[in-house]
Amino acid sequence: MSQRTVDAVIFDLGGVIMKNGGPRDFTRRYPDHDPAVVAEIVMGPHHLDTDHQWHRLERGEITMAECRALTKDMLDAAGIVATAPAPTTSGGAFNFQLNDEMVAFIHDLKSAGLPIAILTNNVREFREMWWPLMDFETVFDTIVDSHEVKMRKPNPDIYHLTMNRIGATPNRTAFLDDLRANVDAASALGMHGVWVEEDASGAIAAARALSGLL
């Protein structure tokens, strides 16, 4: 065991604990179009918390059906057409998949006695798609879901809420996310931000080093 830099670790869900569920999965529905343009229309600016319909959905202010209707109008106006079905809550078109290496790291943190939390920008209608995949309530000390707390990343308040729930301080907390903007927001608060790429092995190694679990 190496020297520990952090005493708590906070994880995003989609694209971090799950192999999928991040913005990449939404833009892949539109392979004939610039993914950056699609992401801006479908999900709004990642580095801001705005009144974009996806941001409102993640804050629990509107339903998925309302969000999709607004987004369709914007995509139609831009001439952008999907060639793959939208995620559904039936599991037919999209299924979350756990990242086994990340889950193993989470269990190692749990065994070492470090507080661990989930901080996710998420949607009420997606809960039934990921909740059955592991015993989240037993494994994690707290789960902060944006639609439940009416806040979303990168709002600093939601980071502070999560840390307060587990008794953590920014300079002793690692935060893992697949969106650079969310990692940058955490780093701006003094947290140890770790960006999770599609191949998460580098991020896991970095987080293991921070938590003294090499």
For 92-109, the pLDDT digits (tens) are 456 889 999 999 999 999
Residues of the chain with CATH 3.40.50.1000: 8-21+95-210
pLDDT at position 91, please? 43
Report residue 53: phi and psi, to 5°. Answer: -60, -35
Contacts of 159 (CB under 8 A, 6+ apart): 10, 119, 153, 170, 175, 185, 186, 189, 191
pLDDT at position 27, please? 80
| pLDDT band, residue 23 (cuts 50/70/90) | confident
Q: Which residue, among 164, 142, 113, 161, has the nearest Cα to 6 in the 3D structure?
A: 113
Residue in the structure block whose two tokens are 């999560």: 162
Dihedral sign from CA coordinates of 185, 193, 122, 79: positive
pLDDT at position 84, please? 62
CA dihedral 192→55→51→79, nearest 10 degrees, is 120
- Please give the span between the terminal C-alpha atoms of the chain, in angstroms, as a whole number: 6
pLDDT at position 7, please? 98
Instruction: Name which CATH class applies to 8-21+95-210.
Output: alpha beta
- The two tokens of residue 82 are 């999907």
Buried b (16+ CB within 10 A) or exposed e, 180-212: eebbebbeebebbbbbbeeebeebbebbbbbbe
pLDDT at position 86, please? 58
Dihedral sign from CA coordinates of 174, 165, 130, 37: negative
Mean pLDDT, rounded, for 80-96 = 64
pLDDT at position 93, please? 52
Contact of 93 with 86, CB cutoff 8 Å: yes
- The two tokens of residue 91 are 């599991």
Average pLDDT, the chain: 93
Question: How far apart, in Å, are the Cα atoms of 182 and each of 75, 121, 127, 175?
Answer: 25, 10, 21, 9
The tens digit of pLDDT for each residue in 125-181 reads 999 999 999 999 999 999 999 999 999 999 999 999 999 999 999 999 999 999 999
